Structure 1
Amino acid sequence: MHPTTSLLAEHFSLLAAQPCWQCTANYGSWLSLHFGQPRIVVREPVPNAKRLSMQRRSADVQGDFLLWIEMGAWEYSEEGKPLQHSEQSREALQKVAALLQGQCISSVQLLHARTETIFDFDQGGQLRVWPHADASADDPLWHLYLPEKILTLQADGLIAHGPVSEQPSIFIPGKTASVTLG
């Protein structure tokens, strides 16, 4: 198995047959998709923080796994028909989040030549992610957070991976990779 494929399989196989939940369209064109068992995460206040929100305790429901589309442009389609994309209104982005709710990722394709990723879902949805035209080389297109580990694809095609608490290793993928889950 090619090293890029192995890396994708190692991380994304943990999401096999797990429906995503609490899908949200966040700041800008960010998308957050939670998978796995929910848990409540409490962050204690930071008394001297500049932002008022950081001075207060917060409690959030998070999954074991989080796929966060951060700095990538994206398009969501169903049955080959484009429905929404990252440059649309907040309402359009929220519709995509609602459409992704409950779907399971069935495959992940990394098309190295264009640093494009295609996430296929079991109910016919497809999320295609690529770098914005003005992306910096080290801009993260997406992150997959696992317990204690992270996998990140950067706009230059480099993959960062490793323990969350350490500086991740950088891996240079060599070619197209594809992983089918389940």
Structure 2
Amino acid sequence: MLHTTSLLAEHFSLLAAQPCWQCTANYGSWLSLHFGQPRIVVREPVPNAKALAMRRRRADVQGDFLLWIEMAAWEYSEDDKPLLHSEQPRESLQQAAARLQGQCISGVRLLHARTETIFDFDQGGQLRVWPHGDARADDPLWHLYLPEKILTLQANGHIAHGSLSQELSSFVPNETVSVTLG
């Protein structure tokens, strides 16, 4: 098994010095941050789907890498001053996404005792992520999608990683980890 520091460094180092783009505040409090070269991804229609949207072809621009904050609470700060958080109205969530736009991840800290992750950005931004109060143990807090690979942190502290086409390996880190990128 990989050491937690090595695993985070291996995955997040690919994002070093790459500004995030197409940062969006999606459904609920989800945040999506794309990195790397853009590409068009086409999803063909599913003719028998119940949802009309699934019966239509969809084309999206995606990056080589996607950091997706999913089932988590979060707070965005600049220069150690909290500014925006996941419980605010939609326009505040969109402001957080706009402030992340163009920033590069400069470090990742995983505070295992609290299942909290802190993403540091090169222009003074900081995104702190932790489980919602009503989170289920297997709720994913965030995912880092790489070409053919994924790294996920769940609310119970488990880190899952591996190939997108196979069952993921999972473990609970027994340490606080800090990785500086760049």
TM-score (norm 1): 0.98
* 1:44-55 correspondence to structure 2 within 5 Å: 44-55=44-55
Say if 2:73 is the partner of 1:73.
yes
Amino acid at match of 1:76: Y
How far did 1:165 drift?
A: 1.3
Match of 2:109 in 1: 109
Match of 1:147 in 2: 147
Match of 2:20 in 1: 20
* Identical counterparts, % of pairs: 83
How far did 1:172 drift?
A: 1.6
Say if 2:101 is the partner of 1:95.
no
How far did 1:144 drift?
A: 0.1
CA-to-aligned-CA distance 1:115-149 (integer Å, 9 cap, x gap): 00000000000000000011111100000000000
Distance in 2 between residues matched to 1:19 and 1:135, nearest whole Å: 30
Distance in 2 between residues matched to 1:40 and 1:48, nearest whole Å: 24
Segments of 5+ residues of structure 2 without an aligned counterpart are none
Match of 1:56 in 2: 56
Which 4+ stretches in 1 moved above 3 angstroms? none
Match of 2:132 in 1: 132
Say if 2:173 is the partner of 1:160.
no
What SS does the corresponding residue of 1:103 show, helix, strand or coil? coil
Distance in 1 between residues matched to 2:145 and 2:166, nearest whole Å: 14
How many pairs are equivalent? 181
CA-to-aligned-CA distance 1:16-38 (integer Å, 9 cap, x gap): 00000000000000000000000
Say if 2:43 is the partner of 1:43.
yes
Distance in 2 between residues matched to 1:135 and 1:167, nearest whole Å: 23
Match of 2:172 in 1: 172
TM-score (norm 2): 0.98
RMSD: 0.7
How far did 1:167 drift?
A: 1.5
Amino acid at match of 1:7: L
Amino acid at match of 1:124: G
Match of 1:29 in 2: 29
Amino acid at match of 1:27: Y
Distance in 1 between residues matched to 2:22 and 2:167, nearest whole Å: 28
Distance in 2 between residues matched to 1:172 and 1:79, nearest whole Å: 31
Amino acid at match of 2:153: L
